[in-house]
A and B are shown apart, each in its own frame.
Chain A
Amino acid sequence: MIRIDSIERSAILMALIAAMLLGGCATRPSDPDDRAYYLESNDPLEPMNRAIFQFNEAADKVVLRPAAIGYRTVVPKGVRVGIRNFLDHLSSPITILNALLQGEGERARDSFGRFLTNTILGLGGFIDVATDASIPKHYEDFGQTLAVWGVDSGPYLVLPLLGSSSFRDGIGYGVDSFVDPVGRYIRDEYGLEGAGVRYAVDAIDWRASNLQTIDELRQSSLDFYATVRSAYRQRRAHEIRNGREPEGESTGTPGIIDFDNMDMELPPEEAPTDGKPNAP
């Protein structure tokens, strides 16, 4: 049974917008330094992204951050851990599906084992018995799957309320929302309000557990937008490699940054491997 609800509609819409924007990207600068910077930040939509980022920052200061502080004050730690476990538990099916699509059999097995262990022995997912049993936790999404299949991240994108993303990861998010059996179940049983509650609790809990880190980073950065953009892209590349360093026995030590060469280095994921950059 397929129901086109608004989340699915928005996913389709997002894909269409993405296709339109991809067709009309800015041209690359010709100066080598400028071009290196352009490629590294990969952000032709920067003015729009900065505007949405400002909006998200305001939403964070007015709503999310106070909610996270309240959540941390009111809800006892043990309960918060249970809620985080349960939210992670709910994301297992999408991780399993994507691990399979990436050919990551071991990760699929781990996540499958975790899902069963925690469903049966962990009171439906509130207690993380699997971690105590040393089954590693993984997180895979369709954006990562597309990357493994060779799809470029495309330009950086800041999504309203959802934050940092890219064309590829935005589409991946839409596909995950559409496919996710847990999401479908929640929407069928509890409607969009149910989906909204899941999203809101997830966001508040995430913000609560990163309260100090994000506040520090924001406080000490001269350009928080640029800091977040860079950190996001690096974290994503790391997630896509599943934490493995880009290996290459003959090419020297993996992941080393050349501090003696002041020419811009591209982040590992974006470095052109075939020597021919995409046509503008």
Chain B
Amino acid sequence: MESPMHRKMPARLSRRHAVAIIGAALLAVRLDVRPARAGSTVAQFVEQLGDRAILQLADPAISDGEREKRFRALLGENFDIPRIGRFVLGRYVRQATKEEMAEFTQLYEDIAVLTYAHLFASYAGEGFRVKREVGDPGDRYKMVMTEVEPSDGKPPIKLDWQVKVNGDAYAVVDIRVEGASMAITQRAEYTAVLDRNGGDMADLLAQLRNKIAKLRADRNSS
């Protein structure tokens, strides 16, 4: 069957029309690329963090162990891991003891290191640029919108950073990849585990320790 869409479409749009569309699209793209506001230090913070991560972690000459060490250092300096750790436990955070909380935060960091550090080894020159910063003066949290431009010409990936503002100090609390928040996704994961084991924090910690041992073994064997 020939649909009406199929037959009529090519006839209706002239080449001149297509050129006009291309022109309009180009203009739209140009307008969209606004530089970060002058003096917007949160945006600068994220930009420098991105640059430092690439500089320190993408170096192909360093060992996996060194890469993990550097990643952990960057994480500790620039991310509010205790705050993220409390958030991802959702409602169960109120039940956790101080000791459980401390161990959870440590294991959470270990998982992050094991999951993400090695990804920088395959860095292929993707461009990282800050597009804009959102937030008002005095806000406790600000958002910095960035884009990662894949080297193979695919469309850029949107990365939004939520940054905790504490006077002059900044710490990342969440990264959103194309609208999916890592903190919310991880909270879904951990609260699902706790829902299914009846809120047993000790069991969650045991599962995390197992997972870390397994990830470590996989990393060492590959």
Contact assessment for A257 and B162 in the assembled complex, using a CB-CB cutoff below 8 Å: yes
**13 A-B contacts, Cβ less than 8 Å apart?**
A115-B9, A119-B10, A133-B26, A136-B155, A222-B204, A223-B189, A234-B179, A234-B181, A235-B178, A238-B178, A259-B86, A259-B164, A259-B173
Q: Tell me whether A256 and B189 are in contact in the complex, defined as CB-CB below 8 angstroms, given that A134-B29, A237-B179 are known contacts.
A: no
| CA gap between A255 and B189 in the complex, in Å | 21
Against B, the Cβ 8 Å flags (1 = close, 0 = not) of A171-205 are 00000000001001100100000000000000000
Does B105 count as interface, using CB distance less than 8 angstroms?
Answer: no
| CA gap between A220 and B204 in the complex, in Å | 14
| CA gap between A245 and B142 in the complex, in Å | 13
Does A1 count as interface, using CB distance less than 8 angstroms?
Answer: yes
Q: Which of B141, B153, B174 has the most CB of A within 10 A?
A: B141
4 closest A-B pairs by CB: A238-B179, A226-B192, A230-B188, A181-B3
Does A264 count as interface, using CB distance less than 8 angstroms?
Answer: yes
Contact assessment for A253 and B179 in the assembled complex, using a CB-CB cutoff below 8 Å: no
Q: Tell me whether A253 and B143 are in contact in the complex, defined as CB-CB below 8 angstroms, given that A219-B215, A243-B158, A262-B91 are known contacts.
A: yes
Contact assessment for A113 and B18 in the assembled complex, using a CB-CB cutoff below 8 Å: yes
Contact assessment for B160 and A255 in the assembled complex, using a CB-CB cutoff below 8 Å: yes
Contact assessment for A134 and B22 in the assembled complex, using a CB-CB cutoff below 8 Å: yes
Please give 18 more A-B residue pairs, beta carbons under 8 A apart, in addition to A136-B29, A220-B111, A253-B141.
Answer: A106-B28, A116-B9, A117-B18, A134-B22, A134-B26, A184-B1, A185-B1, A185-B3, A220-B211, A220-B215, A222-B193, A231-B185, A234-B179, A235-B178, A238-B179, A259-B162, A262-B90, A262-B93
| CA gap between A110 and B28 in the complex, in Å | 11
Does B191 count as interface, using CB distance less than 8 angstroms?
Answer: yes
Q: Which B residues are in CB contact (< 8 Å) with A106?
A: 28
Q: Which A residues are in CB contact (< 8 Å) with B160?
A: 255
Taking CB as reference atom, which chain A residue is nearest B27? A134
Does B128 count as interface, using CB distance less than 8 angstroms?
Answer: no
Q: Tell me whether A254 and B143 are in contact in the complex, defined as CB-CB below 8 angstroms, given that A134-B29, A222-B190 are known contacts.
A: yes
Against B, the Cβ 8 Å flags (1 = close, 0 = not) of A131-163 are 101111100000000000000000000000000
Residues of A within 8 A of B (CB): 1, 33, 36-37, 40-41, 93, 97, 106, 109-110, 112-113, 115-117, 119-120, 131, 133-137, 181, 184-185, 188, 216, 219-223, 225-227, 229-231, 234-235, 237-239, 241, 243, 245, 252-260, 262-265, 267
Min Cβ gap A29→B in Å is 11
Residues of B within 8 A of A (CB): 1-3, 5-6, 9-10, 13, 17-18, 21-22, 25-26, 28-29, 80, 83-84, 86-87, 90-91, 93-94, 111, 114-115, 119, 134-136, 139-143, 153, 155, 158, 160, 162, 164, 173-174, 176, 178-181, 183-193, 195-196, 204, 207-208, 211, 215, 218
| CA gap between A262 and B106 in the complex, in Å | 20
Contact assessment for B22 and A135 in the assembled complex, using a CB-CB cutoff below 8 Å: yes
Q: Tell me whether A234 and B218 are in contact in the complex, defined as CB-CB below 8 angstroms, given that A1-B1, A184-B1, A259-B87 are known contacts.
A: no
Q: Which B residues are in CB contact (< 8 Å) with A133?
A: 22, 25-26
Min Cβ gap A164→B in Å is 12
Contact assessment for A227 and B189 in the assembled complex, using a CB-CB cutoff below 8 Å: yes
Q: Tell me whether A262 and B162 are in contact in the complex, defined as CB-CB below 8 angstroms, given that A36-B91, A109-B21, A117-B18 are known contacts.
A: no
Q: Which of A36, A41, A93 contacts B188 (CB 8 A)?
A: A41
Contact assessment for B179 and A134 in the assembled complex, using a CB-CB cutoff below 8 Å: no
Contact assessment for B135 and A253 in the assembled complex, using a CB-CB cutoff below 8 Å: yes
Q: Which A residues are in CB contact (< 8 Å) with B153?
A: 131
Contact assessment for B162 and A256 in the assembled complex, using a CB-CB cutoff below 8 Å: yes
Contact assessment for B5 and A181 in the assembled complex, using a CB-CB cutoff below 8 Å: yes
| CA gap between A231 and B191 in the complex, in Å | 14
Q: Which of B5, B25, B86, B164 contacts A134 (CB 8 A)?
A: B25
Q: Which of B25, B87, B190 has the most CB of A within 10 A?
A: B25
Contact assessment for B218 and A219 in the assembled complex, using a CB-CB cutoff below 8 Å: yes
Contact assessment for A235 and B185 in the assembled complex, using a CB-CB cutoff below 8 Å: no
Q: Which B residues are in CB contact (< 8 Å) with A239?
A: 179
Q: Which A residues are in CB contact (< 8 Å) with B13?
A: 112-113, 116
Q: Which A residues are in CB contact (< 8 Å) with B80?
A: 259
| CA gap between A45 and B191 in the complex, in Å | 18
